[in-house]
């Protein structure tokens, strides 16, 4: 089979394609910047939950949990401890005291609480990566719910936004540079007037698509062709200008026509031929003979 030869692409088309590809790459960079940074903000809001104590479950005096070291950068992690205490209706409480403390791997107390049942015992802390231990003391008949919520990515907020922005810029950058080089090469081969004329046609095409029309009118092309609107003269009434209006001297004199008499009796006045008939002319040949005699 004979392969069809591919037609070479003209200079203006290459230039317009390069500009379109460059615009698409810039738009991709813009949306990636917004999308990646928005995704990172959402990731920071996610929490890793650890349930220490829960109603209806046997009370845990001590609970150990690990604060992760994200990306091995030793960043502190925001931690929220939610604590709710109440009396067990099925039991008779000896006392309403409640206390808990949080210590790190070295045994240093990071935070502690002492109060009564129903008191607000929540806490918001910044914990360093490593092992932590939570010890809760309650009296008989007192039940408590405790949950540790760690936003493990929050500590890397700044670094994450920088990384997301760098990725959003570097990913479409090769396409932008390649489109710029192609456009620069095509621009050298295409005259400015020709390129602008092609851009005008592209603009017209987009406008016609927006207007949802199947064919262009002559008036629509005039702004791009630099011509005045052309109107079919058959549909326009011609109005004479001041220069074309006839003057008084240009109007011929009109000989008044004699009106018939009021009594209704008509005459042959004005209808009689002032020339009398020539009796010498009896036939057509006589006319030629008379013309020869005159010569």
The string of pLDDT tens digits covering residues 218-237 is 555 555 555 444 444 444 44
H-type alpha helices, the chain: 11-45, 157-170, 173-189, 192-210, 218-225, 284-294
Statement to judge: residues 83 and 106 lie in one domain: yes
- Predicted pLDDT of residue 3: 43
Return the H-helix or E-strand segment holding 84.
Answer: strand 77-87
Statement to judge: residues 34 and 102 lie in one domain: no
- Predicted pLDDT of residue 1: 40
pTM, entire model:
0.56
Burial status of residue 98 (CB atoms within 10 A of its CB: 0-12, 13-18, 19 or more): buried
Statement to judge: residues 82 and 209 lie in one domain: no
- Predicted pLDDT of residue 43: 95
- Predicted pLDDT of residue 233: 47
Looking at the structure of the chain, the number of domains it has is 3
Mean pLDDT of 262-272: 56
Could you tell me if residue 295 is inside a domain?
A: no
Range of the domain at 164: 26-46+158-169
């Amino acid at each position: 089979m004979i392969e069809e030869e591919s037609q070479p692409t003209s200079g203006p088309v290459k230039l317009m394609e390069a500009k379109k590809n460059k615009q698409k790459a810039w738009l991709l960079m813009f949306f990636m910047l917004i999308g990646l940074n928005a995704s990172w903000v959402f990731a920071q809001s996610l929490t890793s939950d650890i349930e220490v104590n829960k109603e209806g479950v046997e009370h845990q005096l001590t609970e150990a949990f690990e604060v992760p070291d994200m990306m091995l950068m030793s960043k502190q992690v925001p931690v929220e401890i939610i604590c709710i205490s109440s009396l067990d209706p099925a039991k008779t409480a000896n006392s309403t005291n409640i206390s808990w403390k949080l210590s790190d791997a070295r045994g240093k107390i990071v935070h502690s609480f002492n109060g009564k049942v129903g008191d607000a015992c929540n806490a918001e802390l910044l914990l360093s990566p490593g092992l932590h231990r939570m010890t809760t003391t309650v009296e008989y008949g007192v039940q408590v719910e405790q949950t540790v919520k760690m936003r493990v990515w929050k500590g890397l907020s700044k670094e994450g936004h920088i990384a997301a922005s760098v990725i959003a810029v570097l990913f479409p950058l090769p396409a932008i540079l390649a489109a710029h080089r192609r456009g620069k090469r095509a621009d050298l081969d295409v005259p400015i007037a020709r390129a602008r004329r092609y851009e005008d046609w592209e603009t017209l095409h987009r406008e016609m698509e927006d207007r949802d029309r199947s064919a262009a009118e002559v008036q629509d092309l005039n702004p791009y062709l630099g011509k005045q609107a052309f109107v079919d003269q058959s549909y326009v009434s011609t109005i004479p200008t001041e220069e074309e209006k006839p003057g008084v001297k240009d109007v011929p004199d009109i000989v008044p026509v004699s009106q018939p008499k009021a009594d209704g009796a008509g005459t042959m006045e004005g209808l009689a031929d002032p020339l009398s008939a020539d009796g010498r002319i009896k036939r057509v040949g006589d006319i030629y003979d008379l013309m020869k005699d005159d010569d």
